Amino acid sequence: MFERDFQEFLRYLTIERGLSPNTADAYRRDLEDFASWLADRGIDSCRAVKREMIVDYLENSLSERAMEPATIARRLVAIKMFFRHLEEEELIPTDPAAVIESPKLWRALPEFLSIEEVDAFLEAWPADDDPLNLRNRTMLELLYASGLRVSELTTLPLTAPDFDNRTMRVTGKGEKTRIVPVGETALELLQRYLREARPFLAEKNPSSPYVFLSHNGRRLNRERIWGIVKEAAVRAGIHKNIHPHTLRHSFASHLLANGADLRVIQEMLGHADIATTEIYTHVDANRLREVHRKFHPRG
């Protein structure tokens, strides 16, 4: 019934958003319960779900089973995240859960790295003559320098970089294209990777149109990039739960902290709605409060 959509959503949570297997499994159980409730009413497609059905499920079905408010809240979070993901991927025309209000508590602020942690993280992977090392360092630099989603990195075509203008054409969610700037360090590494490492990796698949390839010439997948990010964090001695999206969060947070306009950040991230980008204002406010508490004599 909903199985294919569920599996892709859970894969997105674990690979791109870095949720633990236990958390992803909790979302799966919540969504399976909702799907079972829908099936009993003859609904067998995500595209047929209406707002009223979700409200009915929450208010009637869950209350009849005397579930705790915290459980009901968690179920709504799972449903909202699931349908938001489907809408962003253009698998449904509109999100039926979008107008169902959630308490502010449920909107978790993204974790990000300090500038010092980013430096240690990137330098943990040597940009030496080994093709795989050079590939990995280049990917990590691009994730942070341009705020790319890991799905955008895996599908980055050879036609994307514009070295003359120091930009890159990126195709994001919904096949929407945007132009993102590329920092000097990342640009130099990308040029070197394309010149020195990629020809070696492409020997078994010379017609591949993608920038980043595996050792056998195939397009690098999200799981492998996730593993490279995790290994870089271990090498750098960083104990936070780092995943590819952490670098995207860090990119946006550092831009905002240094005075970048929120609308510009929205454009670079490829957010359709400014409200999605505004979460970084809350992150920055938290950072400012922490600095004040730490350094002010009456903090």
Domain with residue 256: its CATH number is 1.10.443.10
In a domain, 297, yes or no: no
At 38-47, the pLDDT tens digits run 888 888 888 8
> Could you tell me if 122 and 265 lie in one domain?
yes
The residue among 111, 113, 128 whose CA lies nearest residue 237 is 113
Tell me the mean pLDDT in the region 105-126. 80
Least confident of 61-65, 88-92, 154-158: 61-65
Tell me the mean pLDDT in the region 241-260. 86
Among the three residues 63, 87, 106, which one is the final residue of a domain in this structure? 106
pLDDT score of 68: 66
**Domain limits for position 201:** 115-291
pLDDT score of 257: 81
At 1-10, the pLDDT tens digits run 577 888 888 8
* Number of CB atoms found within 10 A of residue 267's CB: 14
Q: Is residue 202's pLDDT more than 80?
A: yes
HEC secondary structure over 51-85: HHHHHHHHHHHHHHCCCCHHHHHHHHHHHHHHHHH
- For the stretch 31-36, contacts whose Cβ atoms lie closer than 8 Å and that sit 24 or more positions apart, written own/partner, are 31/2, 31/6, 31/78, 31/79, 31/82, 32/6, 33/75, 34/75, 34/78, 34/79, 35/1, 35/2, 35/6
pTM value surpassing 0.75: no
pLDDT score of 25: 84
Q: Is residue 57's pLDDT more than 60?
A: yes
- For the stretch 199-205, contacts whose Cβ atoms lie closer than 8 Å and that sit 24 or more positions apart, written own/partner, are 200/131, 201/131, 201/132, 201/135
pLDDT score of 103: 46
Query: What are phi and psi for residue 170, nearest 5 degrees?
Result: -120, 135
Task: In whole angstroms, give the CA distance from residue 182 to residue 176.
Answer: 19
Question: Which residues have a catalytic role annotated?
Answer: 149, 173, 245, 248, 271, 280
Q: Is residue 14's pLDDT more than 70?
A: yes
**Whole-number percent of the chain with pLDDT over 70:** 86
**Whole-number percent of the chain with pLDDT over 90:** 37
Counted domains in the chain:
2
Q: Is residue 106's pLDDT more than 50?
A: no
Tell me the mean pLDDT in the region 13-20. 79
> Could you tell me if 101 and 120 lie in one domain?
no
pLDDT score of 10: 84
pLDDT score of 188: 95
> Could you tell me if 269 and 205 lie in one domain?
yes
Among the three residues 84, 106, 128, which one is the final residue of a domain in this structure? 106
Tell me the mean pLDDT in the region 114-138. 94
pLDDT confidence tier of residue 207, bands split at 50, 70 and 90: very high
Among the three residues 67, 85, 106, which one is the final residue of a domain in this structure? 106
Which of 72 and 220 is assigned the larger pLDDT? 220
Q: What is the mean pLDDT of the chain?
A: 84
Least confident of 16-20, 176-180, 232-236: 16-20
> Could you tell me if 225 and 145 lie in one domain?
yes
Structure tokens at 114: 């300090």
Domain with residue 37: its CATH number is 1.10.150.130
Give the start-end residues of each E strand in 113-165. Answer: 161-162
Give the start-end residues of each E strand in the chain. Answer: 161-162, 167-171, 177-181
pLDDT confidence tier of residue 104, bands split at 50, 70 and 90: very low
Task: In whole angstroms, give the CA distance from residue 146 to residue 178.
Answer: 11
